[in-house]
Structure 1
Amino acid sequence: MPVNGEDETGGLSVRVVLYCGESDGAPTPVCPDSEDPLDSSTVLTAPAGVPAAVVRALLATDVPGEFAQDPWLNRHRALVFVDGRCRVGGHELRYHDKFGVYASEES
């Protein structure tokens, strides 16, 4: 399984926790029925799932402070989707409950 950086096939990957952002409050995990952020996590892989620029941009960001002390989350980054959209590395990512995270064609 790929882990934060280059995997055995030469692809890049990064672990992320997905949040839904609201203009009037704090972001909430995409799996609202669970308090465990790992239930809202996934691995983004380039070039198969998202562009390499997205993975590189996320790898260049700091791990959120609340994740850093947790041995299960200390390599994860946070992605906040507002209205199902998030911009990373010059690309627009979208989140759909059924299809997960994908790069928008409009990026």
Structure 2
Amino acid sequence: MTGSDDELAELSVRVVLYHRDQNSELSPLYPDSNDLLESATVLAAPINMPAAVVRALLDSEVPADFAANPWLNRHRALVFTDGRCRVAGYELRYHDKFGVYASEET
């Protein structure tokens, strides 16, 4: 595989989406559910996310609470404040209709 082929290969990471409120309290994006998987999604590069974001998330540790759970042990946490978070120089946003998307690199 050449370098350019490698960049075209799909990368993906599973994430659980959290919201941080004004009091710095964390809650799953869909707090009415007892199942964290309902607040989970898959981010794939280059389909819906820049490769740098997916790689940065793959390089981050699986949260300790997830590691012992067979359903979550490959997920990472993605925390949004006011519908935004920063990963690998990108601002990620969450929209109820469109899900997670990246805005321009800064």
Paired position in structure 1 for 2:77: 78
Per-residue CA deviations over 1:17-50 (Å, capped at 9, x if unaligned) read 0011113032111112101110000000001101
Per-residue CA deviations over 1:68-100 (Å, capped at 9, x if unaligned) read 000000000000000000100111100011110
Residue 22 (1) aligns with residue 51 (2): no
Paired position in structure 1 for 2:47: 48
Q: TM-score, length-normalised on structure 1?
A: 0.87
Paired position in structure 2 for 1:6: none
Q: What is the deviation of 1:106? A: 5.7
> Would you identify which runs of 4 or more consecutive aligned residues in structure 1 move more than 3 Å?
none
% identity of equivalent residues: 67
Distance in structure 2 (CA, Å) of the matches to 1:41 and 1:28: 13
Distance in structure 1 (CA, Å) of the matches to 2:103 and 2:34: 29
Match for 1:17: what amino acid? V
Q: What is the deviation of 1:57? A: 0.2
Q: TM-score, length-normalised on structure 2?
A: 0.88
Match for 2:22: what amino acid? S
Q: How many residues align?
A: 99
Gaps (5+ residues) in structure 1?
Answer: 1-8
Distance in structure 2 (CA, Å) of the matches to 1:44 and 1:23: 26
Give the structure with the larger helix fraction: 2
Paired position in structure 1 for 2:36: 37
Match for 1:75: what amino acid? R
Paired position in structure 2 for 1:59: 58
Match for 2:86: what amino acid? R
